[in-house]
Protein backbone atom coordinates (compact mmCIF):
# COMPACT_ATOMS: atom_id res chain seq x y z
CA UNK A 1 0.00 0.00 0.00
CA UNK A 2 1.27 3.45 -0.93
CA UNK A 3 0.45 6.97 0.24
CA UNK A 4 0.43 9.08 -2.92
CA UNK A 5 -3.28 9.81 -2.42
CA UNK A 6 -3.45 9.60 1.35
CA UNK A 7 -6.39 11.58 2.79
CA UNK A 8 -7.84 12.21 -0.68
CA UNK A 9 -11.44 11.38 -1.63
CA UNK A 10 -12.04 10.29 -5.22
CA UNK A 11 -15.26 9.62 -7.12
CA UNK A 12 -14.67 7.30 -10.07
CA UNK A 13 -17.62 6.85 -12.41
CA UNK A 14 -17.66 3.51 -14.18
CA UNK A 15 -15.43 2.61 -11.26
CA UNK A 16 -16.29 -1.09 -11.27
CA UNK A 17 -15.55 -1.59 -14.99
CA UNK A 18 -12.38 -2.51 -16.86
CA UNK A 19 -10.48 0.79 -16.96
CA UNK A 20 -12.44 2.35 -14.10
CA UNK A 21 -11.87 -0.72 -11.97
CA UNK A 22 -8.11 -0.52 -12.51
CA UNK A 23 -8.13 3.15 -11.53
CA UNK A 24 -10.23 2.39 -8.44
CA UNK A 25 -7.79 -0.34 -7.41
CA UNK A 26 -4.68 1.82 -7.84
CA UNK A 27 -6.18 4.85 -6.11
CA UNK A 28 -7.29 2.70 -3.17
CA UNK A 29 -3.85 1.09 -2.97
CA UNK A 30 -2.34 4.58 -2.82
CA UNK A 31 -4.49 5.54 0.17
CA UNK A 32 -7.48 7.37 -1.33
CA UNK A 33 -11.04 6.88 -0.21
CA UNK A 34 -12.48 5.56 -3.46
CA UNK A 35 -16.16 5.99 -4.25
CA UNK A 36 -16.53 3.41 -7.01
CA UNK A 37 -19.64 4.38 -8.95
CA UNK A 38 -21.48 2.22 -11.42
CA UNK A 39 -25.08 1.89 -12.56
CA UNK A 40 -25.48 -1.75 -11.49
CA UNK A 41 -25.69 -2.05 -7.69
CA UNK A 42 -24.93 -5.78 -7.57
CA UNK A 43 -21.83 -5.51 -9.75
CA UNK A 44 -20.60 -2.47 -7.84
CA UNK A 45 -21.05 -4.13 -4.45
CA UNK A 46 -19.23 -7.29 -5.56
CA UNK A 47 -16.39 -5.28 -7.08
CA UNK A 48 -15.90 -3.30 -3.86
CA UNK A 49 -16.10 -6.41 -1.67
CA UNK A 50 -13.61 -8.36 -3.79
CA UNK A 51 -11.18 -5.45 -4.11
CA UNK A 52 -11.35 -4.64 -0.39
CA UNK A 53 -10.48 -8.27 0.40
CA UNK A 54 -7.64 -8.28 -2.13
CA UNK A 55 -6.10 -5.07 -0.81
CA UNK A 56 -7.09 -5.74 2.82
CA UNK A 57 -8.53 -2.25 3.12
CA UNK A 58 -11.75 -0.47 4.05
CA UNK A 59 -11.44 2.62 1.87
CA UNK A 60 -13.50 1.43 -1.15
CA UNK A 61 -17.10 2.63 -1.12
CA UNK A 62 -19.52 1.19 -3.72
CA UNK A 63 -22.13 3.63 -4.99
CA UNK A 64 -24.79 2.72 -7.55
CA UNK A 65 -26.03 5.72 -9.54
CA UNK A 66 -26.82 6.54 -13.15
CA UNK A 67 -24.62 9.42 -14.29
CA UNK A 68 -27.28 10.35 -16.85
CA UNK A 69 -29.72 11.05 -14.02
CA UNK A 70 -28.98 14.46 -12.54
CA UNK A 71 -30.91 13.78 -9.33
CA UNK A 72 -28.92 10.61 -8.71
CA UNK A 73 -25.63 12.38 -9.42
CA UNK A 74 -26.54 15.24 -7.09
CA UNK A 75 -27.41 12.76 -4.33
CA UNK A 76 -24.16 10.86 -4.82
CA UNK A 77 -22.10 14.04 -4.51
CA UNK A 78 -24.04 15.19 -1.45
CA UNK A 79 -23.74 11.78 0.22
CA UNK A 80 -19.98 11.74 -0.32
CA UNK A 81 -19.64 15.25 1.09
CA UNK A 82 -21.85 14.43 4.06
CA UNK A 83 -19.71 11.39 4.88
CA UNK A 84 -16.22 12.68 4.13
CA UNK A 85 -16.49 16.48 3.92
CA UNK A 86 -14.55 16.93 0.70
CA UNK A 87 -14.04 15.60 -2.83
CA UNK A 88 -10.53 15.94 -4.20
CA UNK A 89 -10.61 13.89 -7.41
CA UNK A 90 -13.28 13.15 -10.00
CA UNK A 91 -12.54 10.58 -12.69
CA UNK A 92 -15.15 10.39 -15.45
CA UNK A 93 -14.81 6.88 -16.79
CA UNK A 94 -18.43 5.82 -17.35
CA UNK A 95 -19.08 5.23 -21.03
CA UNK A 96 -20.18 2.84 -23.72
CA UNK A 97 -20.52 2.69 -27.47
CA UNK A 98 -23.37 1.60 -29.75
CA UNK A 99 -21.86 1.29 -33.18
CA UNK A 100 -23.59 1.60 -36.55
CA UNK A 101 -22.97 3.27 -39.89
CA UNK A 102 -24.73 6.61 -40.12
CA UNK A 103 -27.55 5.43 -42.39
CA UNK A 104 -28.29 2.61 -39.94
CA UNK A 105 -27.87 4.53 -36.69
CA UNK A 106 -31.07 5.07 -34.73
CA UNK A 107 -31.86 8.24 -32.85
CA UNK A 108 -32.00 6.21 -29.64
CA UNK A 109 -28.45 4.93 -30.27
CA UNK A 110 -27.26 8.51 -30.80
CA UNK A 111 -29.02 9.76 -27.67
CA UNK A 112 -27.80 6.88 -25.48
CA UNK A 113 -24.13 7.35 -26.37
CA UNK A 114 -24.17 11.15 -26.17
CA UNK A 115 -26.05 11.12 -22.87
CA UNK A 116 -23.83 8.55 -21.19
CA UNK A 117 -20.42 9.64 -22.43
CA UNK A 118 -20.85 13.42 -22.67
CA UNK A 119 -23.85 14.57 -20.67
CA UNK A 120 -23.06 12.08 -17.89
CA UNK A 121 -19.64 13.67 -17.54
CA UNK A 122 -21.18 17.16 -17.62
CA UNK A 123 -23.58 16.15 -14.84
CA UNK A 124 -20.82 14.87 -12.58
CA UNK A 125 -18.52 17.80 -13.23
CA UNK A 126 -21.24 20.37 -12.67
CA UNK A 127 -22.18 18.97 -9.26
CA UNK A 128 -18.62 18.37 -8.02
CA UNK A 129 -17.05 21.58 -9.35
CA UNK A 130 -18.64 24.08 -6.89
CA UNK A 131 -17.16 22.22 -3.92
CA UNK A 132 -13.74 22.02 -5.53
CA UNK A 133 -13.95 25.77 -6.05
CA UNK A 134 -14.79 26.31 -2.39
CA UNK A 135 -11.86 24.20 -1.21
CA UNK A 136 -9.59 25.84 -3.83
CA UNK A 137 -8.19 22.57 -5.15
CA UNK A 138 -9.17 19.53 -7.15
CA UNK A 139 -8.40 17.17 -10.00
CA UNK A 140 -10.87 16.36 -12.78
CA UNK A 141 -9.87 13.60 -15.19
CA UNK A 142 -12.03 12.41 -18.09
CA UNK A 143 -11.54 9.41 -20.34
CA UNK A 144 -11.83 10.34 -23.98
CA UNK A 145 -10.71 8.03 -26.80
CA UNK A 146 -8.75 7.82 -30.01
CA UNK A 147 -12.22 7.64 -31.59
CA UNK A 148 -12.50 11.41 -30.99
CA UNK A 149 -10.58 11.85 -34.26
CA UNK A 150 -13.17 9.87 -36.21
CA UNK A 151 -13.94 6.18 -36.61
CA UNK A 152 -16.15 4.47 -39.17
CA UNK A 153 -19.35 3.29 -37.53
CA UNK A 154 -18.88 5.41 -34.42
CA UNK A 155 -20.26 8.82 -35.30
CA UNK A 156 -22.14 8.98 -31.99
CA UNK A 157 -19.20 7.78 -29.89
CA UNK A 158 -16.67 9.92 -31.76
CA UNK A 159 -18.86 12.99 -31.32
CA UNK A 160 -19.22 12.35 -27.59
CA UNK A 161 -15.51 11.76 -27.05
CA UNK A 162 -14.60 14.85 -29.08
CA UNK A 163 -17.08 16.79 -26.97
CA UNK A 164 -15.24 15.68 -23.83
CA UNK A 165 -12.09 17.32 -25.17
CA UNK A 166 -13.95 20.61 -25.64
CA UNK A 167 -15.45 20.34 -22.15
CA UNK A 168 -12.01 19.67 -20.68
CA UNK A 169 -10.20 22.48 -22.46
CA UNK A 170 -12.91 25.04 -21.65
CA UNK A 171 -13.26 24.03 -18.01
CA UNK A 172 -9.49 24.02 -17.55
CA UNK A 173 -9.46 27.73 -18.38
CA UNK A 174 -12.33 28.45 -15.95
CA UNK A 175 -10.93 26.29 -13.15
CA UNK A 176 -7.25 27.23 -13.10
CA UNK A 177 -7.78 30.23 -10.83
CA UNK A 178 -9.26 27.86 -8.26
CA UNK A 179 -6.25 25.53 -8.40
CA UNK A 180 -8.23 22.81 -10.16
CA UNK A 181 -6.52 20.71 -12.83
CA UNK A 182 -8.73 19.40 -15.66
CA UNK A 183 -7.30 16.88 -18.11
CA UNK A 184 -8.23 14.08 -20.52
CA UNK A 185 -6.73 10.67 -21.02
CA UNK A 186 -7.11 9.35 -24.57
CA UNK A 187 -6.39 5.62 -24.77
CA UNK A 188 -6.05 3.62 -27.92
CA UNK A 189 -7.11 -0.02 -27.77
CA UNK A 190 -7.29 -1.16 -24.14
CA UNK A 191 -7.59 -4.88 -23.46
CA UNK A 192 -10.55 -4.81 -21.08
CA UNK A 193 -12.50 -8.03 -20.39
CA UNK A 194 -15.29 -6.87 -22.72
CA UNK A 195 -13.04 -5.99 -25.66
CA UNK A 196 -10.95 -9.13 -25.25
CA UNK A 197 -13.97 -11.09 -26.53
CA UNK A 198 -13.61 -9.59 -30.02
CA UNK A 199 -12.65 -11.76 -32.96
CA UNK A 200 -8.91 -12.27 -33.29
CA UNK A 201 -8.67 -10.37 -36.59
CA UNK A 202 -10.35 -7.32 -35.06
CA UNK A 203 -8.14 -7.49 -31.99
CA UNK A 204 -5.03 -7.61 -34.17
CA UNK A 205 -6.17 -4.63 -36.27
CA UNK A 206 -6.56 -2.52 -33.14
CA UNK A 207 -3.25 -3.63 -31.67
CA UNK A 208 -1.52 -2.48 -34.87
CA UNK A 209 -2.61 1.10 -34.12
CA UNK A 210 -0.20 1.12 -31.19
CA UNK A 211 3.38 1.93 -32.29
CA UNK A 212 4.53 -0.69 -29.77
CA UNK A 213 2.21 -3.23 -31.45
CA UNK A 214 0.68 -4.34 -28.19
CA UNK A 215 -2.61 -3.79 -26.43
CA UNK A 216 -2.75 -1.25 -23.64
CA UNK A 217 -3.66 -2.79 -20.30
CA UNK A 218 -6.17 -1.10 -17.96
CA UNK A 219 -3.34 -0.73 -15.44
CA UNK A 220 -1.40 1.41 -17.95
CA UNK A 221 -4.28 3.88 -18.02
CA UNK A 222 -4.56 3.73 -14.23
CA UNK A 223 -0.90 4.69 -13.85
CA UNK A 224 -1.46 7.81 -15.93
CA UNK A 225 -4.65 8.62 -14.00
CA UNK A 226 -2.65 8.35 -10.78
CA UNK A 227 -0.05 10.83 -12.03
CA UNK A 228 -2.78 13.29 -13.02
CA UNK A 229 -4.36 12.95 -9.56
CA UNK A 230 -1.19 13.84 -7.65
CA UNK A 231 0.69 17.06 -7.11
CA UNK A 232 3.30 15.79 -9.56
CA UNK A 233 0.96 17.11 -12.27
CA UNK A 234 0.13 20.43 -10.58
CA UNK A 235 1.13 22.50 -13.63
CA UNK A 236 -0.63 20.31 -16.19
CA UNK A 237 -4.16 21.31 -17.22
CA UNK A 238 -6.31 21.41 -20.35
CA UNK A 239 -4.36 18.54 -21.89
CA UNK A 240 -5.34 15.45 -23.86
CA UNK A 241 -2.74 12.77 -23.15
CA UNK A 242 -2.62 9.85 -25.55
CA UNK A 243 -1.73 6.38 -24.43
CA UNK A 244 -1.22 3.49 -26.81
CA UNK A 245 -2.00 5.40 -30.03
CA UNK A 246 -2.33 8.91 -31.44
Q: Assess if residue 2 is contained within a domain.
A: no
Q: Assess if residue 4 is contained within a domain.
A: no
Q: Assess if residue 179 is contained within a domain.
A: yes
3-state helix, strand, coil split of the chain in percent (to 5) is 50, 15, 30
Q: Assess if residue 95 is contained within a domain.
A: yes
Closest CA to 13 of 46, 47, 36: 36
pLDDT band at residue 75 under the 50/70/90 scheme: very high
Q: Assess if residue 134 is contained within a domain.
A: yes
pLDDT at 121: 98
Closest CA to 11 of 89, 74, 67: 89
pLDDT band at residue 193 under the 50/70/90 scheme: low
- What is the span of the domain harbouring residue 97? 9-240
User: For residue 89, how many other CB atoms are within 10 A of its CB?
Assistant: 28
CATH number of the structural domain spanning residue 204: 3.40.50.720
Count of domains forming the chain: 1
pLDDT band at residue 185 under the 50/70/90 scheme: very high
pTM of the model: 0.94
pLDDT at 19: 94
Q: Assess if residue 246 is contained within a domain.
A: no
Q: Which residues are catalytic?
A: 157
Residue 54 has pLDDT above 80, yes or no: yes
Amino acid sequence: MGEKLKNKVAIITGGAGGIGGAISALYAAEGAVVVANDINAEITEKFATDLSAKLNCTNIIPYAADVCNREQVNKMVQDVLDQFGHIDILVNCAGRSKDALLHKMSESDWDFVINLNLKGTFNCVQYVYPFMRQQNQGKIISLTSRARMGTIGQINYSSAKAGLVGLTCSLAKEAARFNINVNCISPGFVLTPRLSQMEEKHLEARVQLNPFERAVQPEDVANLALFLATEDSRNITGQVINIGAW
